[in-house]
A and B are shown apart, each in its own frame.
Chain A
Amino acid sequence: MMKGYKGKYLKVNLSSGAAGSENIEEGFARSYIGGLGFGARTLLDTVPKGTEPFSLDNILAWWTGPTAGTLAPTGSKYAVFALSPLTGLFGFGISTGGFGNELKSAGWDGIVIAGRCEKPAYLFVDDENAQLRDAVNYWGKSTWETEDLIKEELGDSAVRVAAIGPAGERLVRIGNITNDKNRQVGRSGMGAVMGSKNLKAVAVRGTGDVEVGDLDGLTKFAAELNERCQGPKTEKYRVYGTPANILVHNRLGCLPSYNFQRGTFEKAEDVSGERMLKTHVKKILACTNCSIGCDHVNEVKEGPYAGTVASVDYESLGQLGPLCGVGDLNVITKAVEICDKLGVDTISAGVIAAWAMECFEKGLLSKDDADGLDLRFGNGEALLDALNRMCLREGKLGNLLAEGVRRASQTVGKGSDKFAIHCKGMEWAAYSMRSLKTSTLGFCTSIRGADYLRSGSYQVDVAGKVDRFKLDRSRGKIVRDGEDQYAIIDSLIICKFTRGIYSSMDEIAKLYTLVTGIEMSGKQMITAGERIYNAAKCFNVRFGASRKDDYPPPRAFEEPMIDDVTKGARITREEFDEALDGYYEERGWTKEGMPTKGKLLELGLDGEADEVGA
């Protein structure tokens, strides 16, 4: 019997109310590891070509990794997968907190949900039992309220709840799922898919144990890893958190501001991590199973937003702050709180709002289009109002922005698509396109859309390993290696903040073997990572993705940067094409970005070789 895994998942059909158990075989587990790998396989096996994201045919797959519920540091994560309503491609988000551990303790590696509830309901998984319960009275409630109300109804404050807010209910395409109040399944709109299924929440109570392959070995190794987590490699996360990036990016001219028109922000000091630590951070929290503790929770102490509490990381801070021209930490904290409670992704929300502000300033959105808001850059009150409207689909503006930046720019037209900053329809995270060029390549090849979390390719740019102002063929290998490595991290699923504490992939494989009892080398892990990435890519090809979808927005090519520190920086189409060619070559794909039959067969993806292999 496999260890680490529970060896089964819960299958639920919301339309019929039927629930059952399905087994997970060792061969499958070895090939796809868990988390991202299981999700890629599930989407390939269950979502046919032509499916619409909000249709009955889309599914919602929840997967843990083998490390969930064990001593493995930061292993408590879980992920949710579906055809994304934002990109129309492979969608997923990873969250942390205690939900993943609880699901495992309840006896399940995951839950695969199909169909749609007739009226709002929530799924309660109580160890082996699953039950759909009425959620009509919770519909319209915020993520935080819903969690409290369900715990109260069940009479158990230890139950873990993952819920959507009003945004997911209203099919806002950047809708999140929230658990433990401030942990989110973000990006790509998994909360909106949940809303389309009339599923308000999933609540879990688990009372069982998770057996591991080698308890003594894992205990010893986990202690060693936890010790490393207290060392210098993670000090930056523990003390300053990711907001420390603001000043560094600003100095390097790669802090996106004013909708990516610029790479510096004149009020960077006012919104810096250093300032935030002194004036706003109320406490620093750690997720379940984490010995780092990076979550910086802000509290607004005075002014109109006094009492606001929200976890503020670099991405949220950057996209709801400098990107919108806002230099006030009180406003930014409030903006994050609105997004978290109503249930949308902060990165996407910031990029959409910044695009609307640029449209407004350029006269492409009138005051009437903006429902009377004075939507200029830097107007914090207007930002908060626009976010509320977006989350609730209120008025003309709210309905426009709720569609995501790509669709919104297509609706407005008038050339506004040129500064709709996305790739594959997903809004760009807080890394400059033109002054961190390896990062840009990684954002574009990402299976999920503009995403720093798929390859971490920004790292070579900011570590001086390459000339960040140039691109060439060799960057393809850097991105590909990062993607395969991150695919393993996201399949186990462990926190990327711990990536520096492992000396090699062999050590990650050691962790896997200690947890599962399945022998695995670092090299085999990397092959699994490649398999998983190719599987997700095949899903995108099924839905029409090709080379045309792997490009940054026009601003990256057409508008040189204007900041003193990076003046003139832009990407040429020639250098980007060369780098993309290099990436496809490294992947063993065609020049059109299609996986070849040979590569897919080599990875054991036989069905996909027949279906989409070139």
Chain B
Amino acid sequence: MPEGVIVEFTGPFREIAQARNVTIEIEGKTTLEGLIRKLSEMYGEEFGKRIISEEGTGIRADSAMVAINQRVIDLSKALSQPVAPGDRVVFALAITGGG
């Protein structure tokens, strides 16, 4: 029986998904890239475009933040991060401050 990865959305990702969170069922392990691909299939290409850099090699550090089980992922190494059933993954706007 496949288990779920709990995915939470804030900001523009919530608007695209029209949901605060969703459980994605996966069999065995996948990577963050695999998870984003699955979410893009569900919510359209815009979802992936907002996260994956134009070169397709990493996450867009200027506008996105991804955390897996409360650990913020170093965006330059993010796509190969393993994601397993039971994990909680957050897609959010990069944190801002200053003025």
| A residues apposed to B, CB below 8 Å | 96, 232-233, 235-237, 239-240, 242, 244-245, 247-249, 251-253, 269, 272-274, 294, 313-315, 431, 452-453, 456, 458-459, 461-465, 468, 495-497, 499-500, 565-566
Tell me whether B92 and A251 are in contact (CB under 8 A).
yes
A251 touches B63 (CB 8 A): no
Cα(A463)–Cα(B63), bound, Å:
11
Would you list the 8 A-B pairs with minimal beta carbon distance, nearest first?
A: A496-B98, A464-B72, A464-B74, A462-B95, A233-B62, A247-B10, A248-B92, A251-B90
Interface of B is mostly: loop
Which residues of B sit under 8 angstroms from A247, Cβ to Cβ? 10-11, 92
Q: How far is the CB of A223 from chain B (nearest CB, A)?
A: 20
Indicate whether A464 sits within 8 Å of B73 (C-beta atoms), given known contacts A244-B93, A251-B90, A251-B92: yes
What residue of chain B has the Cβ atom nearest to residue A234's Cβ?
B62
Given A232-B63, A251-B8, A274-B14; A245-B72 close (CB under 8 Å): no
Q: Which residues of A contact B62 (CB under 8 A)?
A: 232-233, 500
Complex: A496 Cα to B74 Cα, angstroms? 22
Question: How many Å from the CB of A488 to the closest CB on chain B?
Answer: 14
For B57-78 the 0/1 string (1 means CB < 8 A from A) is: 0001111010100111111001
Distance (Å) between the CB of B30 and the closest chain A CB? Answer: 19
Q: Assess the A236–B96 pair: CB atoms within 8 A.
A: yes
Contact at B96–A242, with CB atoms within 8 Å?
A: yes
Given the interface pairs A313-B99, A463-B65, the reply to whether A236 lies near B93 with Cβ below 8 Å is: yes
B22 in contact (CB, < 8 A): no
> Which of B20, B74, B92 is the most central at the interface, judged by chain A CB atoms within 10 Å of its CB?
B92
Q: Find chain A residues with CB under 8 A from B98 CB.
A: 452-453, 456, 495-497, 499
Cβ of B97 within 8 Å of any chain A Cβ, yes or no, is yes
Q: Which A residue sits closest to B20, measured CB to CB? A: A269
CB <8 Å contact, A462 and B93 = no
> Across the interface, which residues of A come within 8 angstroms of B90, CB to CB?
248, 251-252
By a CB distance below 8 angstroms, the chain B residues around A465 are 74
A244 touching B70 in the complex, CB below 8 Å, given contacts A232-B60, A464-B75, A500-B62 = no
Interface size on B, residues (CB 8 A): 28
Q: A251-B90, A496-B99, A497-B99 are in contact. Are A235 and B63 (CB under 8 A)?
A: yes
Provide the bound-state CA to CA distance between A361 and B60, in Å.
45
Q: Identify which of B93, B94, B96, B98 gathers the most chain A CB atoms within 10 Å of its CB.
A: B96
A468-B72 in contact (CB<8A): yes
Interface string of B1-45 (1 = CB under 8 A from A): 000000010111010000010000000000000000000000000
Cβ-defined partner of A236 (8 Å) among B14, B20, B71, B94? B94
Asked if A248 and B75 make an inter-chain contact with CB atoms under 8 angstroms apart, the answer reads no
Q: What are 25 contact pairs spanning A and B, CB under 8 A? A: A235-B63, A240-B11, A240-B12, A242-B97, A244-B93, A247-B11, A248-B90, A248-B92, A248-B93, A251-B67, A251-B92, A253-B70, A269-B20, A272-B10, A273-B11, A274-B11, A274-B14, A453-B98, A453-B99, A462-B65, A462-B72, A463-B61, A463-B75, A464-B75, A495-B98
A430: min CB distance to chain B, Å: 9
**A486: nearest residue on chain B (CB-CB)?**
B98
- Alpha-carbon separation in the docked complex, A459 to B61 (Å): 11
CA A464 to CA B78, docked complex, whole Å = 10
Contact B94 A462 (CB under 8 A): yes
Q: Which residues of A contact B75 (CB under 8 A)?
A: 463-464
Contact of A233 among B11, B12, B20, B63 (CB under 8 A): B63
Question: In the docked arrangement, what's the CA distance between A244 and B65, Å?
Answer: 12
Decide if A565 touches B70 in the complex (CB within 8 Å). Answer: yes
Tell me the nearest residue of chain B to A464, going by C-beta: B72
Binding site for A on B (CB under 8 A): 8, 10-12, 14, 20, 60-63, 65, 67, 70-75, 78, 90, 92-99
For the complex with contacts A274-B11, A314-B96, A464-B75, 5 further pairs of A-B residues with Cβ separation under 8 Å are A251-B67, A251-B90, A294-B99, A463-B61, A495-B98
Q: Is the CB of B72 within 8 A of A252?
A: yes
CB neighbours of A237 from chain B (8 A): 96
Q: Decide if the interface of chain A is mainly helix, strand, loop or mixed.
A: helix
Of chain B, the residue at the smallest CB distance from A236 is B93
Q: Across the interface, do B12 and A239 meet the contact criterion of CB distance under 8 Å?
A: yes
The reply to whether A248 and B95 form a contact with Cβ atoms under 8 Å apart is yes
Cα A506 to Cα B9 in complex, Å, equals 37
Residues in A neighbouring B74, C-beta threshold 8 A: 463-465
Q: Please state if A236 and B97 are interface contacts (CB–CB under 8 Å).
A: no
Bound Cα distance from A249 to B99, whole angstroms: 19
Give, as a whole number of angstroms, the nearest-CB distance from B79 to chain A.
13
Of all chain A residues, the one with the shortest Cβ separation from B10 is: A247
Q: Closest approach, in angstroms, between the C-beta of B16 and any C-beta of chain A?
A: 13
Complex contacts, B70 vs chain A, CB 8 Å: 251-253, 565-566
Task: Determine the distance from Cα of A499 to Cα of B93 in the docked complex, in whole angstroms.
Answer: 17
> Chain B contacts of A565 at CB under 8 A?
70
* Smallest Cβ-Cβ distance to A239: which chain B residue: B12
Q: Which residues of the partner chain A approach B99 to less than 8 Å between Cβ atoms?
A: 96, 242, 294, 313, 453, 495-497
Task: Report the minimal beta-carbon distance from B76 to chain A, rounded to whole angstroms.
Answer: 9
Which A residues are in CB contact (< 8 Å) with B12?
239-240
**B93-A461 in contact (CB<8A):** no
A233 to B96 Cα, complex, angstroms: 11
Once the chains are docked, how many angstroms separate the CA of A294 from the CA of B62? Answer: 16
Bound-complex Cα distance A235 to B11 (A): 11
Q: Are A458 and B10 closer than 8 Å at their CB atoms?
A: no
Name the residue on B nearest A77 (C-beta): B99
Q: Name B97's closest neighbour in chain A (CB-CB).
A: A452
Select A244's contact among B11, B20, B71, beta carbons within 8 Å: B11
Of all chain B residues, the one with the shortest Cβ separation from A250 is: B10
Q: Which residues of B contact A240 (CB under 8 A)?
A: 11-12, 93
Most chain B CB within 10 A, of A253, A431, A462, A496, is at A462
A458 to B72 CA separation, bound complex (whole angstroms)? 12
A residues near B78, Cβ cutoff 8 Å: 464
Q: Nearest-CB distance from B51 to chain A (Å)?
A: 11
Closest to A295 in B: B99
Contacts of A313 in B (CB 8 A): 99
